């Protein structure tokens, strides 16, 4: 029983850090540029597809990721410069619509380039084993690696934002963009950099998720909606909120799926109740989000105005 709980907790963390990598970029872009970017999921998809392609070329997962990430960040940079830059000052509705258009565009583009059939991507060989924690407690090394990478990136991000000059400018840009511009900072360049960073993080999430879930068109939207749940729960614009929200959503979703159907079956002894349980399980994170917003309309860690 404890072994199961530990394994599921690890699964929750694994989903959580993936969500964090997505949420970090989205929440930064929102906090600094006041921009809702629905197309953020597209970078996740692009990251996964590029990695899958480069794995075929180099036959090495690490090398593939190394090439895929800058390329995806470059795509993000291009999108920012061509389309999104003019949207920062606009209404949220305009941003939702324009980036909804971008989703359609990227999904179709990927379908044209790679075809509609999902691509298979194996777990890299050096991580294909299982790690034994105890007599009957083992966990796939690859998933453990995702957790480790996710936490390292989170620490790196935190150090960057709180300790470096770039991070200082990002924080300054978030709290008063006019003042930062007046002090001679090239705010356009700063925005582009932040956007490219977010796209790169999303691509990293996609690249790591590739071997676990299938690489297919539409994978970006599935995780995008979860990511929005995360940043709304955490408080939009807050990196700390994104981390807490991501882990919370990862754990609630994982345990909901594992425990609820069985619990409902055990309580009532009917398979119909089991079905209800799995329905509630897939709704659980949305219920969590509605509850958080009901009691704290601005999320758990609201950014100070």
What does the binding site for another protein look like in residue numbers (CB under 8 A)?
Answer: 30-32, 34, 36, 83, 86-87, 90-94, 96-98, 100-109, 111-112, 174-175, 221, 225, 228-229, 232, 235-237, 275-276, 278-279, 282-283, 286-287, 289-290, 293-294, 297-299, 302-305
CA atoms within 13 A on the CB side of 214: 8
Residue 119 pairs in a beta bridge with 215
| Rounded distance between C-alpha atoms, residue 140 and residue 151, angstroms | 17
Task: Give the alpha-carbon dihedral of 277, 296, 29, 85, to 10 degrees.
Answer: 110
CB of 270 to another protein, least distance (A): 13
Identify the DSSP state of 164.
S
CB of 285 to another protein, least distance (A): 8
CB of 15 to another protein, least distance (A): 17
Task: State which residue, 92 or 163, has the beta carbon closest to another protein.
Answer: 92
What is the three-class DSSP state of 201?
helix
Taking Cα atoms as reference points, which of 144, 147, 149, 117 lies closest to residue 128? 144
Following DSSP, what letter does each residue of 284-298 receive, concatenated? HHHHHHHHHHHH-TT
Task: State which residue, 142 or 228, has the beta carbon closest to another protein.
Answer: 228
Tokens linked to 176: 């008063």
CB of 122 to another protein, least distance (A): 28
Place of tokens 């994982």: 254
Following DSSP, what letter does each residue of 125-148 receive, concatenated? GGG-SEEEEETTEEEEHHHHHHHH
Task: State which residue, 97 or 160, has the beta carbon closest to another protein.
Answer: 97
CB of 132 to another protein, least distance (A): 36
* 114, 129 Cβ separation under 8 angstroms: no
CB of 223 to another protein, least distance (A): 13
Taking Cα atoms as reference points, which of 90, 91, 106 lies closest to residue 221? 106
Task: State which residue, 56 or 116, has the beta carbon closest to another protein.
Answer: 116
Task: State which residue, 30 or 195, has the beta carbon closest to another protein.
Answer: 30
Task: State which residue, 167 or 302, has the beta carbon closest to another protein.
Answer: 302
H or E, element range at 33 = helix 2-33
| Rounded distance between C-alpha atoms, residue 156 and residue 135, angstroms | 34
Task: State which residue, 67 or 105, has the beta carbon closest to another protein.
Answer: 105
Task: State which residue, 70 or 302, has the beta carbon closest to another protein.
Answer: 302
CB of 177 to another protein, least distance (A): 8
| Rounded distance between C-alpha atoms, residue 106 and residue 99, angstroms | 10
CB of 110 to another protein, least distance (A): 10
Place of tokens 């059939």: 117
């Amino acid at each position: 029983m404890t072994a199961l709980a530990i394994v599921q907790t690890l699964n929750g963390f694994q989903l959580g850090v993936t969500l964090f990598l997505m949420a970090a970029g989205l929440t930064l872009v929102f906090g600094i540029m006041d921009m809702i970017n629905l197309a953020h999921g597209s970078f996740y998809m692009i990251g996964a597809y590029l990695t899958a392609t480069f794995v075929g070329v180099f036959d090495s997962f690490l090398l593939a990721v190394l090439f895929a990430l800058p390329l995806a960040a470059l795509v993000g940079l291009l999108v920012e410069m061509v389309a999104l830059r003019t949207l920062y000052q606009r209404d949220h509705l305009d941003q939702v619509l324009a980036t909804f258009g971008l989703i359609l565009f990227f999904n179709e583009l990927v379908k044209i380039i790679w075809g509609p059939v999902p691509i298979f991507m194996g777990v890299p060989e050096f991580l294909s084993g299982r790690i034994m924690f105890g007599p009957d407690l083992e966990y796939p090394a690859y998933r453990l690696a995702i957790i480790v990478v996710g936490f390292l990136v989170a620490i790196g991000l935190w150090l960057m934002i709180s300790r470096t000059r770039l991070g200082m400018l990002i924080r300054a840009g978030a709290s008063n963009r006019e003042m930062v511009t007046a002090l001679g900072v090239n705010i356009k360049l700063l925005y582009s950099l932040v956007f490219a960073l977010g796209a790169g993080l999303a691509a990293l999430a996609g690249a790591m998720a590739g071997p676990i879930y299938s690489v297919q068109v539409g994978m970006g939207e599935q995780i995008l909606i979860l990511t929005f749940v995360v940043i709304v729960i955490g408080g939009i614009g807050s990196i700390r909120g994104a981390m807490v929200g991501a882990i919370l959503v990862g754990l609630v979703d994982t345990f909901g799926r594992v425990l609820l159907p069985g619990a409902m079956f055990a309580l009532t002894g009917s398979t119909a109740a089991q079905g209800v349980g799995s329905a509630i399980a897939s709704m659980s994170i949305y219920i969590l989000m509605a509850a958080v917003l009901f009691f704290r309309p601005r999320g758990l860690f609201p950014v100070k105005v």
